A and B are shown apart, each in its own frame.
Chain A
């Protein structure tokens, strides 16, 4: 059957006006203020006087037709037929009548979905693909998130943190989970194991050589075949060579570990945006529930909750109390690895006599 192929319509980003709640459309660009009425519920008031209540809740992010139709049924019956997703994959249903808020919350909770994730809570963990679908993952993503959100459930449904907490996970050092108040990222601890038989066919060697941040890779003949060699003393085990050259296997059942970083922040509020910084590493990749990760995360959160002032994000808090105090309060070991040696590292050293005792 020689059908003429269908040409794509390059329509790009869909216009959202056709899919948004009419109250958003009618008050577009003309909102006045908002209040948080309880965890998971926002009320926005427009200049026109229109009001909209938003109920936010967490899901498993990967949804099937059953969940989608179930949640759409709730949005149709108890909401007004529209949903919105936040950047952290929280789902939101909007209503324009306050009397609908409680029944909507009840419907969502009865269906097993937690209402929360607003204000100073631990909101949904942003996650990547992991073993479910990525081609280079050192760990899973959905599983780590599920295991942690089980542990942090109460922190999602309550607003008792000093400020919002954004946790991220990443299953390789490319870190597509991004910056987080707490980031749980893969950290490899051994250089790639090269399958020399496959390199010549699978890898464009010059571009693999160029990919290495520390110039540890060089072309070599191995067993009479063109391959690549890694200077293992130089190698920082970042895994950058693995995506362009799958025979340079970086993942390892034992030596792929997890590291925890804290204090990343995207907002410009108070301090400028900040990168997260290393606090703990060498944590086993302990599927299916990663208890060692959960323990460290919960400890950091407990200390932050107790010691930080209102409105301080984790990064703001550590800047105020200083890193020595952070390690003292959390009882996490401080090692030589916490002292940066990458480019610009001198900027992270304490060039002053400012010491807290």
Chain B
């Protein structure tokens, strides 16, 4: 269905249904889903119905709506996995087969009995020209249901709903014009990077370059899943961490700076004149987590840069007056993940600051990721994320395994427990001194 079919001056295009139903199978009754066509937010149910009215794959969507309605009634899901892949790859497809069988043992909704999703890696930063978006949509319309989610929680474009046979033909078509599958299973997963340098003044690094460099270096580990479990890279241009990388990735790259932040005092004064001293004291100065800010008598701002932890709050509030410094780089954190199995872990600091300017710098970043994945792949238990390996063997053992020296930025407090052997204290202290002498 192209938008040329769209009504001339409709009240709301997004509630529009074509007058002619081209699919042959009649709609099932969907009283529960119909409830979700009410209300002001655009309805995915109306979208599914539109797809069900089209010629090709329309019957598949008629039955998909039938199965979904059944789930709404019984409050149970009815999909099971399986193995479907494209030639040459071991992952990237989420196969779905219906489990909903009638008394005759046959699928209750046969047209959607195969309803696979294809995970495709988005461009770094999620930019699309309308031309490319239409092209992707046209390809999927040809080989699948037409339904696309921008984007899944790992960051993939998810092309939802096709048969086993069409998986290969769709992939072949889009792969020819530059699109590759994402990860699924125990492998390096699709990465994410924020809009960053493309539009945001708070960006401290080339997010897209980092994202592509890291992920594209592991294509074999993405497409042929053979790691202990999933491994995710995410890149945010500043500590606002719009990509949720600290908590949601194994390897989080966060842009930062190590010189002084930039203060345009004239803009500060304007801001004070505009908003008032109380506002700036209550909302900027007193919200600084390390008390690094103070409003001077002349309405300029004093910044204790040695104690600023680059939290971004004051810069977020006073976007015109304050900005990150010039000596930019990244902080790298390791081991974020959600609940299963040991409970949630945040990523923790591995490299407090890494300059990313020269080719050698980028090469060092790539090598660090390789070293980590190699060590983890060799030492992790099955189904164990990096955060869990660190929890099990301790950060110090992990650091020794990847050849990184301990750094006080890695902790939020020094050891509290005296239950530890420290026979080689002197040798360790000497190492520290040698590193400092550098």
Hey, which bits of chain A sit against chain B, CB under 8 A?
5-21, 24-25, 28-29, 31-35, 44, 52, 54, 58-70, 72-73, 75-76, 81-87, 89, 91, 110-114, 126, 128-140, 142-143, 146-147, 149-150, 153, 173-179, 207, 210-211, 213, 238, 240, 246, 251-253, 256, 266-271, 273, 275, 285, 287-289, 309-311, 342-344
| Complex contact B313–A288 (CB within 8 A) | no
Residue of B nearest to A285 (CB): B75
Query: A133 touches which one: B32, B86, B160, B317 (CB < 8 A)?
Result: B160
Query: A269 touches which one: B192, B194, B206, B312 (CB < 8 A)?
Result: B312
Tell me if B400 counts as interface (CB < 8 A to partner A): no
Interface of A is mostly: loop
Q: How far is the CA of A139 from the CA of B32 in the complex (A)?
A: 14
| Complex contact B153–A128 (CB within 8 A) | yes
Query: B42 touches which one: A17, A60, A68, A134 (CB < 8 A)?
Result: A60
**Given that A11-B175, A13-B191, A134-B77 are known contacts, is A269 also in contact with B137, CB under 8 Å in the complex?**
no
Query: A28 touches which one: B41, B124, B198 (CB < 8 A)?
Result: B198
Residue of B nearest to A344 (CB): B343
Would you mind naming 19 contact pairs between A and B with Cβ atoms under 8 Å apart?
A8-B87, A15-B208, A34-B319, A60-B47, A68-B148, A84-B195, A138-B77, A143-B33, A143-B72, A146-B44, A153-B41, A174-B338, A175-B338, A207-B383, A211-B383, A266-B245, A268-B240, A275-B346, A310-B283
Q: How far is the CA of A110 from the CA of B244 in the complex (A)?
A: 33
| Complex contact A178–B248 (CB within 8 A) | yes
Which chain A residues lie closer than 8 Å to B164 at the CB level?
Answer: none
| Complex contact A12–B6 (CB within 8 A) | no
| Complex contact A16–B6 (CB within 8 A) | no
Which chain A residues lie closer than 8 Å to B42 at the CB level?
Answer: 58-60, 112-114
**Given that A267-B240, A342-B343 are known contacts, is A20 also in contact with B125, CB under 8 Å in the complex?**
yes
Interface core residue of A21, A32, A34, A266 (most chain B CB under 10 Å): A266
Which chain A residues lie closer than 8 Å to B41 at the CB level?
Answer: 58, 60, 114, 146, 149-150, 153
Given pairs A132-B68, A238-B340, A288-B35, 9 additional interface contacts (CB within 8 A) = A8-B89, A12-B216, A31-B201, A81-B130, A128-B153, A177-B153, A240-B340, A267-B241, A268-B239
Which chain A residues lie closer than 8 Å to B176 at the CB level?
Answer: 9
| Complex contact B1–A64 (CB within 8 A) | yes
Tell me if B143 counts as interface (CB < 8 A to partner A): no
Query: A14 touches which one: B121, B191, B312 (CB < 8 A)?
Result: B121
Q: How far is the CA of A140 from the CA of B211 in the complex (A)?
A: 32
The 10 closest A-B pairs by CB, nearest first: A150-B39, A112-B14, A69-B3, A112-B12, A131-B71, A268-B239, A12-B216, A16-B123, A20-B127, A31-B201
**Given that A33-B319, A35-B319, A174-B339 are known contacts, is A61 also in contact with B244, CB under 8 Å in the complex?**
no
Residues 1-39 (chain B) with a chain A CB within 8 angstroms: 1-6, 11-16, 32-33, 35-36, 38-39
Tell me if B344 counts as interface (CB < 8 A to partner A): yes
Residue of B nearest to A143 (CB): B36
| Complex contact B35–A70 (CB within 8 A) | no
**Given that A111-B14, A133-B160 are known contacts, is A311 also in contact with B283, CB under 8 Å in the complex?**
yes
Q: How far is the CA of A266 from the CA of B14 in the complex (A)?
A: 33
Q: How far is the CA of A134 from the CA of B208 in the complex (A)?
A: 30
Query: B134 touches which one: A10, A72, A153 (CB < 8 A)?
Result: A72
| Complex contact A13–B382 (CB within 8 A) | no
**Given that A8-B87, A131-B71, A135-B79 are known contacts, is A13 also in contact with B128, CB under 8 Å in the complex?**
no
Residue of B nearest to A271 (CB): B289
| Complex contact A73–B129 (CB within 8 A) | no
Residue of A nearest to B169 (CB): A6
Query: A19 touches which one: B123, B199, B287 (CB < 8 A)?
Result: B123
Q: How far is the CA of A134 from the CA of B223 in the complex (A)?
A: 21
**Given that A7-B88, A146-B36 are known contacts, is A173 also in contact with B153, CB under 8 Å in the complex?**
no
| Complex contact A62–B121 (CB within 8 A) | no
When each residue 302-325 of chain B gets 1 if its CB lies under 8 Å from chain A and 0 otherwise, what string results?
000000011111001101100100
**Interface size of B by Cβ–Cβ distance < 8 Å?**
143
Interface core residue of B14, B219, B220, B246 (most chain A CB under 10 Å): B14
Which chain A residues lie closer than 8 Å to B206 at the CB level?
Answer: 29
Q: How far is the CA of A24 from the CA of B195 in the complex (A)?
A: 10
Q: How far is the CA of A287 from the CA of B36 in the complex (A)?
A: 10
Q: How far is the CB of B43 from chain A (nearest CB, A)?
A: 6
When each residue 174-187 of chain B gets 1 if its CB lies under 8 Å from chain A and 0 otherwise, what string results?
01101111000000
Which chain B residues lie closer than 8 Å to A275 at the CB level?
Answer: 247, 344, 346
| Complex contact A66–B148 (CB within 8 A) | no
Tell me if B113 counts as interface (CB < 8 A to partner A): no
Query: A8 touches which one: B32, B96, B180 (CB < 8 A)?
Result: B180
Tell me if B147 counts as interface (CB < 8 A to partner A): yes
Q: How far is the CA of A245 from the CA of B241 in the complex (A)?
A: 36
| Complex contact B199–A31 (CB within 8 A) | yes
| Complex contact A70–B6 (CB within 8 A) | yes
Interface core residue of A35, A173, A270, A310 (most chain B CB under 10 Å): A270
Q: How far is the CB of A239 from chain B (nearest CB, A)?
A: 9
| Complex contact B44–A14 (CB within 8 A) | no
Residue of A nearest to B239 (CB): A268
Residue of B nearest to A7 (CB): B88
Residue of B nearest to A47 (CB): B201
Q: How far is the CA of A238 from the CA of B239 in the complex (A)?
A: 32
Q: How far is the CB of A300 from chain B (nearest CB, A)?
A: 20
Q: How far is the CA of A29 from the CA of B38 in the complex (A)?
A: 43
Q: How far is the CB of A87 from chain B (nearest CB, A)?
A: 6
Q: How far is the CB of A275 from chain B (nearest CB, A)?
A: 5
Query: A66 touches which one: B50, B126, B131 (CB < 8 A)?
Result: B50
| Complex contact B341–A139 (CB within 8 A) | no
**Given that A8-B175, A16-B123, A213-B342 are known contacts, is A82 also in contact with B129, CB under 8 Å in the complex?**
yes
Q: How far is the CA of A84 from the CA of B151 in the complex (A)?
A: 11
When each residue 332-363 of chain B gets 1 if its CB lies under 8 Å from chain A and 0 otherwise, what string results?
00000011111110100000000000000000
